[in-house]
């Protein structure tokens, strides 16, 4: 199980390869969120999302033999783009398995980075199965959320938040496969048990909410949400254990709340955020997350790789 030291080492390893994104104090959102709003702007990251942290941390640790073999990943978009970008910088061959209904802008960006794109179903389990086939043929699998090097890389976000604002009270994190919140919670709880870590899932994909109720990791029969970066249909066992042990709370938000939060981000905060990024803000705006006006709350804006036509339809 990874710990704080793994994210500290990742932070050192990643210097010069990624951006240290700003922690923005955004008073324009205080009244709608009911707290003092801080945004960790990973939409400004090199690939437009936080995923480059974990992808680059993983690829930088490959052996010479693994680099020659090339890598494969399964992703709905942002992780695939990050692995493709990192692989292009390190001159590695990369195959990406995407769903048959990908975000068009993400697909275009991944292809532009030189990745070979394959398609498999619409469920994350179908993409994972196809990626494992290529792994069996010799490719190195870079898992989007169940790779410890990836999780440690995502944890560097937590380190940067505390470095920028040691007085932060709560960090609110969108939850998809669970790697991001696992990394952040591991780093934060290694620094201080006084800082709350809260996860937010879309009600159309409540993997970890249902898992915590059941007492074991579950697989959902169907997921449906506008937050395409969180359309994972199962709870990873390792991330389930991390969430169970270190995350203070998991909340759910519905589709209309996600849309309202996206509009607030774009129109009030002037932040271009994709739907998945807005889960945290949606939970505060819809009161599924309880905060108070004096609380310093950081909402992790996970990415800004929008389908422009979808974005236009929501504004």
Least confident of 35-39, 77-81, 286-290: 77-81
Beta bridge partners of 41: 301
Is residue 107 within 8 Å of residue 78, measured between CB atoms?
Answer: no
**Second CATH level (architecture) for the domain 4-49+149-314:** 3-Layer(aba) Sandwich (3.40)
CA 60 to chain centre: 20
Q: Which pLDDT tens digit goes with each residue over 48-107?
A: 999 999 999 999 999 999 999 999 999 878 899 999 999 999 999 999 999 888 878 778
pTM of the model: 0.94
Beta bridge partners of 299: 39, 172
Q: What topology does CATH give the domain 52-146?
A: Rossmann fold (3.40.50)
Half-sphere exposure of 242 (CA within 13 A, CB side): 33
Domain with CATH 3.40.50.1100 in the chain: 4-49+149-314, 52-146
Q: Which pLDDT tens digit goes with each residue over 98-132?
A: 988 887 877 888 999 999 999 998 877 888 899 99
The pLDDT > 70 percentage for the chain reads 100
Beta bridge partners of 252: 201
What's the CA gap between 208 and 200, in Å, rounded? 10
């Amino acid at each position: 199980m990874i710990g704080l030291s793994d994210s500290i080492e990742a932070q050192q390893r990643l210097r010069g390869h990624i951006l240290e994104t700003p922690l923005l104090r955004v008073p324009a959102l205080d009244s709608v969120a009911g707290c003092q709003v801080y945004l960790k702007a990973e939409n400004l990251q090199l690939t437009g999302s936080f995923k480059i942290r974990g992808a680059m941390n993983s690829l930088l640790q490959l052996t010479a033999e693994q680099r020659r073999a090339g890598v494969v990943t399964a992703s709905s978009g942002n992780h695939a783009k990050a692995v493709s970008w990192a692989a292009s910088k390190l001159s590695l061959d990369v195959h990406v398995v995407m769903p048959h209904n990908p975000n068009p802008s993400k697909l275009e960006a991944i292809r532009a980075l030189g990745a070979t794109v394959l398609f498999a179903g619409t469920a994350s389990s179908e993409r994972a199965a196809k990626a494992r086939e290529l792994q069996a043929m010799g490719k190195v699998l870079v898992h989007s959320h169940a790779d410890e090097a990836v999780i440690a890389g995502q944890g560097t976000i937590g380190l940067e938040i505390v470095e920028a604002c040691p007085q932060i009270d709560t960090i609110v994190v969108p939850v998809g496969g669970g790697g991001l919140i696992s990394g952040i919670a591991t780093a934060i709880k290694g620094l201080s048990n006084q800082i709350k870590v809260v996860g937010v899932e879309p009600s159309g994909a409540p993997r970890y909410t249902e898992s915590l109720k059941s007492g074991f990791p579950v697989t959902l029969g169907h997921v449906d949400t506008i937050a395409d970066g969180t359309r994972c249909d199962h709870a990873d066992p390792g991330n389930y254990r991390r969430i169970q042990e270190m995350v203070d709370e998991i909340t759910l938000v519905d589709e209309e709340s996600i849309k309202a939060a996206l509009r607030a981000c774009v129109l009030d905060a002037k932040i271009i955020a994709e739907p998945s990024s807005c889960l945290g803000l949606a939970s505060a705006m819809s009161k599924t997350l309880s905060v108070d006006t004096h609380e310093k709350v950081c909402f992790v804006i996970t990415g800004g790789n929008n389908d422009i036509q979808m974005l236009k339809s929501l504004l």
